[in-house]
Amino acid sequence: MDRTSLVTEIENRGLRDTQRTGPLYKRLAAALTGLIQEGLLKPGTALPSERDLSESLQIGRVTVRTAYRDLLNAGTLESRHGSGTFVSGSVQRMEQSLWRLSSFSADMRSRGRVPAAKILSRTIATPSPEEAFLLGLGLNEQVLRLDRLRLADGQPLAIERSVVPLKFLGASQGNEGSLYDALAASGNRPMRAVQRLTAVILDRSSAAALEVKAGAPALLIERVSRLDDERPVEYTRSHYRGDAYDFVAELRIGEEP
């Protein structure tokens, strides 16, 4: 949203309505909150400086500063040193079942969101001793190591670091699109997996990629996926934003064997 549109939207929300009570900065803060809640100002959007917005709205700079301060304190906005004021990057939380094996792309599409991936690193090499053990490989076999930033509607949600034996990928070798789609296309779709969840904090590099503060909480999920015949086909370490996901599992009381 450009500055002209922003000013128009703010004024349309009763900024200058003399029938409304309360300080002007409260009305400005309420107008900005409404724009954010309606999705017209998306997470990560840069807001005009105090001076620019006050001049555009023809109100006092202190009014804008006070409105920004209240929204910063509420977590609605965030200040980035040397860059300005932005709509907070917090995201709507999603529930993810621990019992359903699906790709990130398929999961986001089922929610009506647009998945995307940014490749951070892609190499073909021999496995490490740990990878060879987990994937049942010889140390001289080749694997694809694929590190990707996973996004939904343009917003980063997770970093996935996958290791897949090259022999399972066929001609595409996982060059683009969903890794699970590439495995399925070569007749090697994962059918079950074992996952381990650990609460961690993000280092500076991972936090920057996920657009959160260094030291922010995250969920580390380590997964080994297998084919129908029990051969391991994928080993993945994923860091999910702690403010974005709730992982849930249904538990039932079973009879003793």
DSSP 31: H
Max Cα distance, the chain (Å): 77
Higher pLDDT, 186 or 171: 186
- pLDDT surpasses 90 at 91: no
- pLDDT surpasses 90 at 161: yes
Amino acid at 139: L
**Coil, strand or helix at 224:** strand
- pLDDT surpasses 60 at 144: yes
Cα separations in angstroms, 221 against 92, 158, 179, 212:
20, 10, 17, 18
Question: What mean pLDDT comes out for the span 124-145?
Answer: 95
Q: What is the pLDDT of residue 47?
A: 93
Cα three-residue angle 220-110-179, rounded to 5 degrees: 55
CB contact burial 35-66 (16+ within 10 A = b; e otherwise): bbeeeebebebebbebeebbebbebeeebbeb
Closest alpha carbon to 25 in 56, 71, 78: 71
How many angstroms separate the CA atoms of 24 and 183, rounded? 58
How many angstroms separate the CA atoms of 242 and 87, rounded? 18
